[in-house]
Amino acid sequence: MLFRRRNPPTLRERLRALFWPRKGLVRPFRYIGKRILRLGASPHAVAVGVAAGVFSTFTPFVGLHIVIACAIAYALAGNLLASALTTALGNPITFPLIWLATFRVGDVVLGTGVSGGQSSADLVHMLEHLEFTELWQPVLKPMLVGTLVLGSAAGIAAYALTLIAMRAFRKRRRLRIAERVAPQRATTAGP
């Protein structure tokens, strides 16, 4: 094989790469950001798509984030690709933080107190048996209410930041292209 390593990676190297990739943890997010900025749609459509993706990341329905994001983006005339790419913000590192925050905020908004008065043994039993009807009141209802609050706030912030970034990126791109074209016009115009 042309690009194969001469010495295969050791177990230690593979474990290190699993928990801390060689290229870093930030690189994939930077790549997604650049892909979003380079989309050909209008800045408003891209910003709506990003907001839809950020909002859907706050929902507790893992596996449906892209579907939810695309449905919201489609309903609001946003960019579907931007919404799908932005759902990558929800990953195994951020999900516990997001879910804890949505649960706590939903619990406060509903005024039910911690887990609706259920004991921790009851919650463990419900989570083990995954009975939706029993999970609704103590877990899913507060999480969905928290999703509406935190997801909306994060979506609005993402919309504003994306719109500003898209406009600035396109302005810099236009100036860069104009600088490249100006010397060419001067040399081809002749005396």
Domains of the chain by residue range: 11-93+150-166
3-class SS at 61? Answer: coil
Which pLDDT score is estimated for 149? 96
Which pLDDT score is estimated for 157? 97
- For 171, residues 6+ apart whose C-beta sits below 8 A from its C-beta are none
**Alpha-carbon separation of residue 92 from 31, 109, 148, 184 (angstroms):** 19, 26, 21, 50
CA 160 to chain centre: 15
CA 119 to chain centre: 33
Confidence grade of residue 133 (pLDDT, cut at 50, 70, 90): low
Q: What is the mean pLDDT of residues 134-151?
A: 84
Which two tokens mark 19?
Answer: 């928990």
The CA R_g of the chain, rounded to the nearest whole Å, is 23
Statement: residue 155 has pLDDT above 90: yes
Q: Which residue has the tokens 């995954």?
A: 130
Which pLDDT score is estimated for 129? 64
> Which of residues 167 and 132 earns the better pLDDT score?
167
Q: What is the mean pLDDT of residues 89-105?
A: 86
Which pLDDT score is estimated for 1? 54
Statement: residue 9 has pLDDT above 50: yes
Task: Specify whether the CB–CB gap between 84 and 36 falls below 8 A.
Answer: no
Which two tokens mark 186?
Answer: 């001067």
Which pLDDT score is estimated for 86? 92
Confidence grade of residue 71 (pLDDT, cut at 50, 70, 90): very high
> Which of residues 120 and 3 earns the better pLDDT score?
3
- For 151, residues 6+ apart whose C-beta sits below 8 A from its C-beta are 54, 55, 56, 57, 58, 59, 102
Q: What is the mean pLDDT of residues 151-172?
A: 95
Confidence grade of residue 191 (pLDDT, cut at 50, 70, 90): low
Statement: residue 64 has pLDDT above 80: yes
Which pLDDT score is estimated for 123? 47
Looking at the chain, the whole-number percentage of residues with pLDDT higher than 70 is 83
